[in-house]
């Protein structure tokens, strides 16, 4: 005969609250609250029965789990804590509903109601991502999205919904309402308190202390006992945390549902955990059988889980002590701070757990190595760019969450002298950071707040609002240590008061110990936001210190540096501390400012004279038919000795890498974590149309013919049509395609030199280099085709665009165009490579390998 399972009514806590005689408490009072709880339990049993359907991978969350909490609560309260029947009812009701909202049945409007929440919108936006196309209607993606998104949304919402579920009616077809607590007066008095305590199991212990500091007085109709909210919330969270034994993971049920992935690991460890007990003030967990080598991941999950419970016990004790309340009987978990000690209770076989996981022992050293010049190179401008990027992300987030216009927000940059040193200051009026973010993702090297789950907890609705941060990898902040070893971060969330502003200070570089403190009044950004202050390594009393750090020359202004680093940003940038200083960059002004101002902003090196009288007017937008703008640029070929082009690829408005052969801006997407290489986003057809237009403009310009021919190479590289641009030089004259066709129609053979300018070769040329340079004369029989690298991106081993040329790709696009033109005219053609005279120096003949093209003789 099977023995009945232990009844929760046999636990110490139930007996203590509802059965044992208590001074000043009548049996009627005990009976009333016990009966009210049991009636509520009957209804909740049906509700939680749906959880396994909605979230099939979870361990048991049905009524057996809720009943078991009376046992785990008894473990930590027996003989240490006193509860009145009213408190027992409120605690028991909170235990019943704390997980009950992990089903759509907890929502009056079902899935439709859930889909109206910001949590659903965030999760759906994250699930859909940028690569999944938006369906034409909700119905098209409804079932797929529900299957993929609903479990995570229910998990995120369940604590908040628990706060409302006690007051929620369930109605039948006639409209008659049923409540979890049928007694209207009892429900009216305690529903909010029950819901709040249930919700609190999802809060931090610190938040419990802040939000539940005021006790609830007695329900005068039935009791004289008040409700201690902090005490009940602490008991609930610990009781819930301790219920990890085999009742949560029945072995046969596991075989039926066959959980996978991380859920399977939870079942692996919980199915063999025995009911815990307390020794002195320590909770002891044991296992029914050892974990084998192949079960090591499950063992480590058990260790991590119970280590977290140990931490919770410690925080709860600290909170209860600080409020002079009764302490729980248990204060720690045995072995939870040392794996080998833990393995004596949760045993292993065939292996020994030691805390030897792959880890970074010297975190500061790694951060210092990878977060500075080793990652970003030696360019000291990178830290300023990264600070601008972080500020821009914060402003974009505030725009979206507050539905502000797309031009709102400001980044202010300046320097401040302080006790003989200089500080670089970058301040924004963005969304700001809480203490949790300041001490969490900001300092977690490699973790981006914008791509962490924390973003949906800190700012619900932000992901759904379309937040697309520039920062992706959580490494940019650490670049500030390239400029200085002392950093201060002062931040205040936009929606919190000045008393919640915090200062994070780091001295001694990336290896320094951060210090957190409350921001003194008047220190934090006045309207919310963040200010980063970096003490520069080179201290002077003027701008030269900062600018020398940034440019190694001190010849540029701070404004020039900032504008060049963020030339197409959609956020206003102001350099200077005074309020009347004019902005250097206005949101997306790069699309409208004059060509001169645009090129001056981009020409950071300031070696190219941008004379308005000589300025070309070939800069044109790169737009598709829908009006999407991919850049504003012009083809511009310079001599090798001239300065680099004032052109760049920008990623979300920030400069990435240089554009070759192009002046202006093309928007792109980064291919590296440090965003020093980016590929333009412009579609091929838009690029080709733009290049064709450029060919027309360049052909009409006063540019040298040789440079026009080199520009033709760029046009072909972009897939454009070169039109009237010259393609080669023959007998001292530059020829367009049309002119070249007219010439070759009169010949049966021709000599083509595809190497561009003939350069001196000391092994072949029997003349002095100076004589060669000054007196070389091209042979008029040879057709000279310029050789020019037409790539627009040629950094870090990346070339773009890559235009395929079938036969002469090793030479150039222009050479292939010339050869194709010959083929089109002559039809039948042969080719030889031979050594021939390409020119003379005085009377000395200069020979090179050239290509001979000719029309073959037709045999009779």
What's the pLDDT score for residue 141? 44
> Could you tell me which residues are beta bridge partners of residue 291?
348
Q: Which long-range contacts (CB under 8 A, 24 or more apart) does 343-348 make?
A: 343/299, 345/284, 345/285, 345/286, 345/287, 346/269, 346/273, 346/285, 346/286, 346/287, 346/291, 346/299, 346/302, 346/303, 346/306, 347/287, 347/289, 347/290, 347/291, 348/290, 348/291, 348/292, 348/296, 348/299
Q: How far is CA 824 from CA 549, 725, 749, 821, in A?
A: 59, 19, 14, 5
Which pLDDT score is estimated for 448? Answer: 74
In this prediction, residue 626 carries a pLDDT of 93
Q: Which of the 8 DSSP states describes residue 293? A: G
pLDDT digits (tens, 9 = 90+) for 443-470: 776 667 777 778 888 888 888 888 887 7
Bridge partners for 516 per DSSP: 504
Torsion sign over Cα 847, 851, 854, 860: positive
What pLDDT, on a 0 to 100 scale, did the predictor assign at position 254? Answer: 83
Average pLDDT in the chain: 86
What is d(CA 89, CA 93) in angstroms, rounded to the nearest whole number?
6
Which tokens hold the place of 162? 């628990």
Q: Are 118 and 186 in contact (CB under 8 A)?
A: no
pLDDT tens sequence across 160-200: 999 999 999 999 888 899 999 999 999 999 999 999 999 99
Strand order in the sheet with 776-778: 733-736, 726-730, 782-784, 749-753, 844-854, 830-841, 776-778
Q: What is the pLDDT of residue 4?
A: 52
Confidence at residue 616, expressed as pLDDT on a 0 to 100 scale = 53
pLDDT digit string, tens, across residues 331-355: 999 999 899 999 999 999 999 887 6
CB 433 within 8 A of CB 596: no
User: What is residue 547's predicted lDDT score, i.e. its pLDDT?
Assistant: 53
Are 734 and 709 in contact by the 8 Å Cβ rule? The answer is yes
Instruction: Convert 718-733 to b/e letters by CB count within 10 Å (16 or more is b).
Output: bbbbbbebbbbbbeee
Q: Within the chain, which residues score under 70 in pLDDT? A: 1-6, 130-142, 355-379, 445-447, 471-476, 511, 538-556, 604-617, 639-645, 673-675, 796, 803-810, 858-860
CA–CA separation, 809 and 831 (whole Å) = 16
Give the number of C-alpha atoms closer than 13 A to the C-alpha of residue 526, restricted to the C-beta side.
1
What is the reported pLDDT for 455? 81
Look-up of token digits 């927000």: 409
pLDDT at 687: 96
pLDDT at 543: 46
**Contact at 8 Å (CB) between 528 and 429?**
yes
User: For residue 133, what pLDDT is reported?
Assistant: 40
The pairing of beta strand 629-635 with beta strand 620-623: antiparallel
List, as one string, the DSSP characters of 733-791: EEEEHHHHHHHHTT-SEEEEETTSS----TTT--S-HHHHHHHEEE-TTEEE-------
Q: Which residue intervals of 402-506 are DSSP H helices? A: 435-439, 454-458
Residue 693: which of 670, 663, 672, 724 has the closest Cα?
A: 724
Q: How far apart are CA 392 and CA 532, in angstroms?
A: 13
- What pLDDT does residue 544 have? 45
Under 8 Å between Cβ of 329 and 279 = no
Check if the beta carbon of residue 87 is closer than 8 Å to that of residue 230: no
The pLDDT score that the predictor gives to residue 57 is 82
Tokens of 606: 């300031």
Cβ contact 831:853 at 8 Å: yes
* Distance of alpha carbon 150 from alpha carbon 142, whole angstroms: 11
């Amino acid at each position: 005969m099977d023995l009945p399972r232990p009844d929760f009514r046999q636990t110490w806590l139930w007996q203590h609250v509802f059965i044992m005689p208590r001074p000043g408490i009548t049996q009627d009072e005990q009976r009333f609250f016990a009966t009210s709880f049991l009636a509520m339990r009957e209804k909740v049993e049906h509700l939680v029965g749906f959880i396994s359907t909605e979230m099939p991978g979870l361990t048991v969350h049905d009524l057996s789990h809720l009943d078991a909490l009376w046992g785990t609560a008894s473990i930590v309260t027996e003989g240490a804590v006193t509860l009145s029947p009213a408190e027992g009812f409120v605690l028991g009701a909170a235990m019943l509903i704390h997980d009950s909202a992990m089903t759509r049945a907890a929502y009056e409007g079902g899935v439709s109601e859930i889909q109206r929440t910001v949590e659903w919108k965030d999760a759906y936006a994250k699930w859909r991502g940028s690569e999944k196309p938006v369906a034409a209607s909700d119905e098209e993606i409804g079932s797929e999205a529900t299957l993929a998104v609903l479990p995570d949304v229910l998990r995120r919402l369940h604590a908040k919904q628990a706060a409302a579920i006690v007051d929620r009616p369930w109605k039948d077809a006639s409209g008659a309402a049923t409540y979890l607590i049928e007694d209207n007066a009892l429900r009216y008095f305690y529903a909010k308190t029950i819901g709040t305590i249930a919700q609190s199991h999802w809060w931090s212990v610190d938040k419990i202390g802040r939000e539940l500091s005021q006790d609830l007085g007695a329900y005068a109709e039935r009791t004289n006992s008040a409700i201690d909210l902090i005490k009940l919330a602490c008991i609930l969270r610990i009781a819930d945390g301790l219920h990890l034994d085999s009742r949560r993971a029945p072995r046969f049920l596991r075989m039926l549902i066959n959980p996978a992935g991380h859920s399977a690991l939870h079942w692996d460890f919980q199915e063999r955990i025995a009911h815990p007990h307390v020794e002195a003030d320590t909770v002891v967990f044991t296992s029914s059988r050892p974990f084998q080598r192949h079960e090591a991941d499950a063992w480590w999950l058990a260790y991590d889980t119970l280590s977290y419970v140990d931490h919770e016990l410690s925080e709860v004790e600290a909170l209860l002590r600080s409020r002079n309340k009764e302490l729980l009987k248990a204060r720690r978990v045995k072995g939870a701070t040392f794996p080998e000690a833990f393995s004596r209770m949760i045993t292993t076989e065939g292996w020994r757990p030691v805390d030897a996981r792959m880890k970074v022992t010297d975190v500061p050293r790694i951060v210092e190595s990878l977060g500075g010049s080793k990652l970003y190179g030696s360019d000291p401008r990178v830290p300023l760019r990264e600070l601008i990027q972080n500020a821009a992300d914060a402003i974009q987030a505030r725009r979206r969450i507050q539905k502000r216009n797309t031009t709102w927000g400001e980044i202010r940059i300046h320097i401040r002298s302080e006790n003989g040193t200089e500080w670089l200051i970058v301040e924004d009026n963005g969304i700001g950071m809480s203490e949790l973010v300041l001490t969490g993702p900001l300092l977690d090297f490699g973790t981006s707040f914008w791509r962490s789950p924390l973003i949906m907890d800190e700012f619900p609705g932000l992901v759904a609002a379309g937040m697309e941060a520039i920062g992706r990898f959580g490494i940019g902040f650490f670049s500030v240590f390239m400029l200085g070893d002392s950093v201060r971060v002062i931040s205040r969330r936009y929606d919190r008061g000045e008393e919640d502003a915090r200062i994070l200070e780091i001295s001694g570089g990336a290896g320094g110990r951060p210090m957190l403190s409350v921001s003194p009044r008047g220190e934090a950004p006045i309207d919310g936001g963040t200010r980063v202050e970096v003490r520069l390594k080179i201290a002077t009393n003027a701008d030269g210190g900062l600018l020398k750090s940034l440019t190694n020359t001190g010849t540029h202004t701070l404004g020039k540096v900032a504008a060049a680093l963020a030339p197409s940003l959609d956020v206003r940038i102001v350099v200077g501390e005074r309020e009347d200083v004019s902005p250097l960059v206005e949101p997306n002004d790069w699309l409208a400012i004059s060509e001169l101002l645009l090129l001056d902003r981009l020409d950071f090196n300031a070696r190219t004279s941008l004379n308005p009288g000589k300025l070309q007017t070939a800069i044109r937008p790169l737009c598709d038919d829908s009006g999407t703008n991919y850049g504003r640029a012009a083809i511009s070929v310079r001599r090798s000795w001239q300065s680099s082009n004032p052109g760049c690829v920008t990623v979300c408005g920030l400069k990435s890498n240089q554009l070759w052969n192009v002046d202006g801006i093309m928007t792109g997407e980064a291919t590296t974590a440090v965003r020093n290489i980016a590929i333009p986003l412009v579609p091929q057809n838009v690029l080709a149309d733009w290049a064709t237009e450029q060919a027309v403009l360049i052909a009409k310009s006063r540019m040298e013919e040789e440079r026009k021919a080199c520009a033709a190479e760029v046009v072909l590289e972009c897939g454009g049509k070169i039109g009237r641009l010259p393609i080669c030089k023959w007998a001292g004259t530059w020829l367009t395609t049309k002119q070249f066709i007219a010439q070759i129609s009169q010949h049966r053979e021709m000599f083509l030199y595809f190497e561009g300018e003939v350069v001196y070769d000391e092994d072949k040329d029997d003349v002095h280099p100076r004589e060669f340079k000054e007196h070389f004369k091209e042979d008029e029989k040879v057709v000279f085709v310029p050789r020019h690298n037409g790539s627009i991106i040629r950094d870090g081993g990346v070339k773009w665009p890559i235009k395929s040329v079938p036969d002469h790709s090793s030479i150039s696009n222009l050479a292939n165009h010339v050869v194709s033109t010959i083929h089109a005219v002559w039809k039948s053609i042969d080719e030889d490579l031979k050594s021939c005279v390409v020119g003379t120096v005085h009377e000395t003949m200069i020979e090179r390998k050239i290509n001979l093209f000719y029309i073959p003789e037709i045999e009779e």
